[in-house]
Amino acid sequence: MNSAHAAVEIEGADRPGEVVLVCEHASNAFPAPWGDLGLTPDQREAHIAWDPGALGLARGLAAQLEAPLVAARQSRLIYDLNRPPHHPGAMPVTSEIHDIPGNAALSPDDRSARTEALYEPFHASLRSLIAERLARGRPTALVTVHSFTPIWFGKPREVELGVIHDADPSLAQAVLEEARRVTQLDARLNEPYSGADGVCHTLALQATPMGLPNVMLELRNDLIADPTAQEAMAVTLAPVLQAALSQITANNGEAA
């Protein structure tokens, strides 16, 4: 690794809750040695660079659920931690309607260096946190927190809460039912995209092989645009997650 940049931030590793929260697109930082990839300030603030509001929501959920939070410390345009190293989206050449100049001509060495500096330590830290809990027999569910843009290629999206799953849909289905029961959100399963679109890599890598309940939450980012809205959404969604986990735990004996 030729960078002193730390790829991952872990908050509250020892918190006692059942959920482990992950925010792969938490940051729009463009640290050295990668820098701004030739993007304009507006582009670096836009949804292509990160998931606006997701970190604030994840921190609110972490407080409500007494959950550890594992978050990225750099833009997804440098390395999208929710994609494997050979995926075109890991170091994308374009995102929506924007070219990413600093990704236009990456060599195998460049790709390897970013993978080693960012993807490997992020997922090793998360794996270690999960493995430690499992070795001690602690029930564990994995919840990733994302946001999506209200307008994509010029088209508005009506869905407000997307509830997405990997191979095991049980937690996602329970979250969807509970969200429809106790919130006013337009909540939909596997929208605005699904695991079939390759957006569930963290769940596939970290939860499925361990048999952990898992869900990816996608909030439309206009609903979590400032700290007040993020906190309110956390207060709305934390009991939804807790009720959903209680339900699948009751169905399965225990969550992990």
For binding to a second copy (CB under 8 A), which residues are involved? 84-86, 108, 111-112, 114-116, 119-120, 123-124, 127-128, 131-132, 134-137, 167, 201, 204-205, 208-211, 256
- Pairing relation of β-strands 187-189 and 161-164? parallel
CB of 130 to a second copy, least distance (A): 9
73 and 9 in contact (C-beta within 8 Å)?
yes
Burial annotation 168-178 (CB, 10 A radius, 16+ → b, else e) = bbbbbbbbbbb
Break the chain down into helix, strand, coil percent, rounded to 5.
40, 15, 45
Residue tagged 């337009």 (tokens): 186
Closest CA to 215 of 185, 189, 182, 251: 189
CB of 108 to a second copy, least distance (A): 4
**Residue 193 corresponds to which amino acid?**
Y
199 and 216 in contact (C-beta within 8 Å)?
yes
CB of 137 to a second copy, least distance (A): 6
CB of 49 to a second copy, least distance (A): 21
CB of 90 to a second copy, least distance (A): 8
β-sheet bridge partners, residue 98 = 95
Residue with smaller CB distance to a second copy, 124 or 250: 124
CB of 77 to a second copy, least distance (A): 16
Question: 154 Cβ partners below 8 Å, 6+ apart?
Answer: none
Residue with smaller CB distance to a second copy, 25 or 123: 123
* Rg of the chain over all Cα atoms, to the nearest angstrom: 17
Residue with smaller CB distance to a second copy, 164 or 219: 164
Q: How far apart are CA 9 and CA 71, in angstroms?
A: 5
Residue with smaller CB distance to a second copy, 31 or 121: 121
Q: How far apart are CA 2 and CA 15, in angstroms?
A: 32
Residue with smaller CB distance to a second copy, 131 or 250: 131
Residue with smaller CB distance to a second copy, 1 or 250: 1
